[in-house]
Amino acid sequence: MNRNIALLIILFICKLIYTQITSTEILDSVVSFKFVTVNDSIRYKKNIFYYDDSGNKILSGGLSFDTLSNSWIFDSKYEYGFDNNNHEILLANYIWNRISNEWAGISKRETEYNDSGNMAQYFDFEWDNELKNWFIKKKFIYYYDQELNNNLVLGYIMDESDSDWRNYKKFENIYNETNQVITTFKYDWSASKEDWTNNLKTIFEYYDSVGNDRTLYAQYEWNDQINDWIGEFKYEYDYDSTKNVTHLISYNWDCDTNDWVRDFQQRNFYNDFGEIDSFNFQKWDKVKNEWTNNIKILYDYNTSELKKNEIHHIWDTQYMKWNYYKYLEYFYDEYNRNFSKIQYLWNTLADNWELATKDYYYYKEITEIAHEVNMGLLNIYPNPVQNNILYVDNFYRGSTMYKILSIEGIIKKYGTLYNSNKSIDLSDLSNGIYLIVFSTKNRNLSKKVIIQK
């Protein structure tokens, strides 16, 4: 088949799927049922979601079902706000007071961004129960170097006695030559010393010079008695060739031996599609000086590579064997959207699974979100790629998964992008034409990329 024709077919299919998803994929609500007997369930929890015209979630609410009034009653809600660039500028959390029948604030943050799209500062607010209103409490200002790396954050706290700002926290980030943060220092302000004092130090090491795949995350705290840093905890990571985390070991600092001691470890195994196949969590037994099993999860997927079920096991230390604990089943509609999830719990006395909860997912149409607009917001460059690195701008503000397909439709590479990691290493791909598909929790979008080394 002609390469260009094959690529057009793939693009058409992705465009068709994307157009269908963007007109119906916005999650409207999730309703949970709790089973009181095998055949009898009651409405239990409900989450509702509202969006703006760009598909940004602007409100989410949690409700409980009241059997006395036979109606849903609010428990909590989150309010979100966005600027014209879809940056989140507001996040506020409230809880419903059933006695006074009104909302009470829990936390609120307002964020501002600079012309480069990076965070400039944010303000934290606290709720005044008497005035029933927010009052500003803290602010953090971000500074950047010439490479747009965030190298300094200054935090201030509001002094209520004179309504003025006082020094509060300071963060310093040190970067290597490839713009990866390798050390972070956290300082507290000492009013008595009128100076910054050491608090925490975090050290990072990476899998390679590209991306944010850490092999080491070690945190130290300052000890005034010895006037030096001492360990607090650290994580060590191993990866496979596609940068999936295969092994994580956690350590705590032992002040008696002045050395790191094992705490827990996690091993992940993946299938041919890069999805996690099984998960094994073990704790370190200091007495036996060996790893002991704790939790194991097995995953299964359907032909669309969507999670079909997962089985949770817990280790029985008395009989030294794995016992069933929890079983989850996932069901999807014709658009591969999750429309139902069922949870079972293991009954050790009856030696079988029992229904525990069932969740139903409902969606609403937002047809005004044109896929051409969203596609235009995402930019990849350079294209063609000649130096192995593809940069991505203006992607979804949270995590964004991607898959790179050959013109035959074969998955050649996959991974996840974060706000701190806006590049993809293509050094392991040969010259040619590829399709890169980006997936967020609300939509999919695709781009053609050419590699010419």
pLDDT, tens digit (0-9, with 9 covering 90-100), for 134-164: 999 999 999 999 999 999 999 999 999 999 9
Q: Comparing 113-122, 344-353, 381-390, 443-452, which segment has the lowest mean pLDDT?
A: 443-452
> Residue 18: is its pLDDT beyond 70?
no
Each residue of 66-123: pLDDT tens digit? Answer: 988 889 999 999 999 999 888 999 999 999 998 888 999 999 999 999 998 999 999 9
* CA 322/CA 305 separation, integer angstroms: 27
134: buried, middle or exposed (CB in 10 Å: 19+, 13-18, 0-12)?
middle
Residue 142: name the closest of 169, 111, 120 by CA: 120
| d(C-alpha 380, C-alpha 451), whole Å | 13
Q: How confident is the model at residue 380 (pLDDT cuts 50, 70, 90)?
A: confident
Average pLDDT over residues 271-286: 94
Question: What tens digit of pLDDT does each residue of 410-431 get?
Answer: 778 888 776 545 789 898 888 8
State the DSSP code for 421: B
Phi, psi of 375 (to 5 degrees): -60, -35
Domain boundary assignment for the chain: 28-364, 371-451
More confident residue, 181 or 406: 181
Kindly state the tokens that stand for 303. Answer: 């032909």
- What is the share, in percent, of the chain residues with pLDDT greater than 70? 87
Task: Please say if the pLDDT value at position 398 is more than 80.
Answer: no
Closest CA to 218 of 191, 264, 252, 258: 252
Separation of first and last alpha carbons in the chain: 24
Strands 276-285 and 290-301: antiparallel
Of residues 210, 146, 119, the one with CA closest to residue 397: 119
Least-confidence region, from 61-75, 248-262, 285-299, 365-379: 365-379
Q: What is the pLDDT of residue 56?
A: 84
Instruction: Yes or no: say if 171 and 184 are a contact pair by the CB < 8 Å rule.
Output: yes
Rounded to 5 degrees, what are φ and ψ at 94? Answer: -130, 155
Q: What angle do CA 442, 48, 122 make, to 5 degrees?
A: 70
Alpha carbon distances (Å) from 434 to 11, 221, 440, 450, 453 = 10, 47, 20, 6, 14
Dihedral of alpha carbons 9, 14, 19, 20, sign: positive
How far apart, in whole angstroms, are the C-alpha atoms of residue 276 and residue 299?
7
pLDDT in tens, 236-265: 999 998 889 999 999 999 999 999 999 999
Are residues 204 and 234 in contact, defined by beta-carbon separation less than 8 angstroms?
Answer: no
Per the prediction, the chain carries an average pLDDT of 87
Q: Which residues of 355-373 are buried (b: 16+ CB within 10 A; e: fewer)?
A: bbbbbebebeebeebebee
- Distance of alpha carbon 191 from alpha carbon 200, whole angstroms: 18
Residue 447 in this model has a pLDDT that exceeds 70 = yes
Beta bridge partners of 104: 95
Tokens of 162: 């004179």
- Per-residue model confidence as pLDDT tens digits over 171-223: 999 999 999 999 999 999 999 999 999 999 999 999 998 888 999 999 999 99
Check residue 403 and give its pLDDT.
87
- pLDDT tier for residue 30 given thresholds of 50, 70 and 90: very high
Question: For residue 400, what are the CA distances in angstroms to 16, 354, 419, 428?
Answer: 20, 36, 9, 21
* CA 179/CA 212 separation, integer angstroms: 10
pTM of the model: 0.75
- Give every CB contact of residue 75 below 8 A, 6+ residues apart in sequence: 62, 63, 64, 95, 96
Q: What is the pLDDT of residue 143?
A: 98
What's residue 439's pLDDT? 75
Alpha-carbon gap, residue 164 to 48, rounded angstroms: 39
Tell me the DSSP string of 219-233.
Answer: EEEEETTTTEEEEEE
Does 372 have pLDDT greater than 60? no
Taking every pair of Cα atoms in the chain, the longest distance, rounded to a whole number of angstroms, is 76
Give, as one character, the DSSP assignment of residue 385: B
Under CATH, what is the fold of the domain 371-451?
Immunoglobulin-like (2.60.40)
* 373 vs 366, higher pLDDT: 366
Residue-level pLDDT at 444: 66
Lowest mean pLDDT among 19-28, 120-129, 223-232, 388-397: 19-28
Average pLDDT, stretch 281-291? 96
Instruction: Give residue 399's pLDDT band: very low, low, confident or very high (50, 70, 90).
Output: low
